[in-house]
Amino acid sequence: MTFNKFSITVKGKSYEFRRPQVMGILNVTPDSFYSGSRMATDEAMIAARVSQMIDDGVDIIDIGAYSTRQNADDVAPEEEYRRLSVGLDAIRSIAGDILVSVDTFRAEIAERCVKNYGVQIINDVSGGTLDAAMFDTVARLEVPYILMHMRGTPATMQSLTEYTDVTDDVIADLTAKADALRNRGVKDIIIDPGFGFSKTVDQNYEMMARLDEFKKMGLPLLVGISRKSMIFRTLGTDAQHSLNGTTVLNTVSLMGGAHILRVHDVKECVETVKIMGKMLGYEY
């Protein structure tokens, strides 16, 4: 059991990673499912959150301005970009050249963030299904793309959980979309199985138990299970009390071959990555 190093290229600049990367979540929204991550657009709160993540050892900051929890309010494109601008201004003023991904399913927003703020990665929870222009836009921008599996929309996804075999079906869907991206010239694709999106609790755990099967795609693997309902429903608690469960599943994810862990709690995840390095053969 070892860690397989990986690399991404942004506008001709190569980044090589010899250990798993910790991606910290920065939600500039008032309604994310985990209240501890809601920053809205209070500049002081955002700056403090960014500074804390840097101090805790974050590798990548993932900023989002559109909550994808069930029944979340719709956010107009201009409002989404306004929120992102406040957060990106804070990141760039505090963290300099740190890798930043923008969590958006809108091609227009992705393009503006890359061109105006030098964002290096696009993280699309819809896997290109909510904006037909996304794949072509990412190809033109020449930035890595996080391809996540989801069916429907955040409002309908939990009614779309019928699979023949959830792991095989998700891999097949991601493979087809990765091929479509490659055909457009996208060179750097990171896959995300989409835990919690159009999957039942049991289906989430089935995928987690078979996570190493995603290696067959030959692409970097991102896992985002931080404080999700697959944890707190199993434990009979809530998102606020799901840090321990998150750490358990982050550990399982690393053993299953995860390259990037997307988390709310950076310090605890960094500690997990450091400890697992003793087993997986990398140095932190």
- The tens digit of pLDDT for each residue in 83-92 reads 999 999 999 9
Q: Across all residues in the chain, what is the average pLDDT? A: 93
Of 5, 262, 267, 278, which residue is the catalytic one?
262
DSSP, res 38: B
Question: What CA–CA distance (Å, rounded) separates 86 from 212?
Answer: 38
Residue 43 pLDDT class (50, 70, 90 cuts):
confident
112 among known catalytic residues:
no
Who has greater pLDDT, 69 or 221?
Answer: 221
Residue 136 class from Cβ within 10 Å (0-12 exposed, 13-18 middle, 19+ buried)?
Answer: middle
Of 19, 83, 106, 228, which residue is the catalytic one?
228
228 among known catalytic residues:
yes
Question: What CA–CA distance (Å, rounded) separates 271 from 256?
Answer: 18
- The tens digit of pLDDT for each residue in 144-196 reads 999 999 998 888 888 889 999 999 999 999 999 999 999 999 999 999 999 99
Entry pTM: 0.94
- What percent of the chain stands above pLDDT 70? 95
Residue 273 CA: distances (Å) to CA of 52, 180, 281, 282: 18, 33, 11, 10
DSSP, res 157: G
Q: What's the confidence (pLDDT) of residue 32?
A: 57
- The tens digit of pLDDT for each residue in 93-147 reads 998 889 999 999 999 999 999 999 999 999 999 999 999 999 999 999 999 999 9
Residue 34 pLDDT class (50, 70, 90 cuts):
very low
Contact present, 7 and 17 (Cβ < 8 Å): yes
Q: What's the confidence (pLDDT) of residue 30?
A: 76
User: Looking at the predicted structure, is the pLDDT value of residue 71 above 70?
Assistant: no
- The tens digit of pLDDT for each residue in 222-259 reads 999 999 999 999 999 999 999 999 999 999 999 999 99
Q: Which CATH class is domain 17-280?
A: alpha beta
Who has greater pLDDT, 41 or 138?
Answer: 138
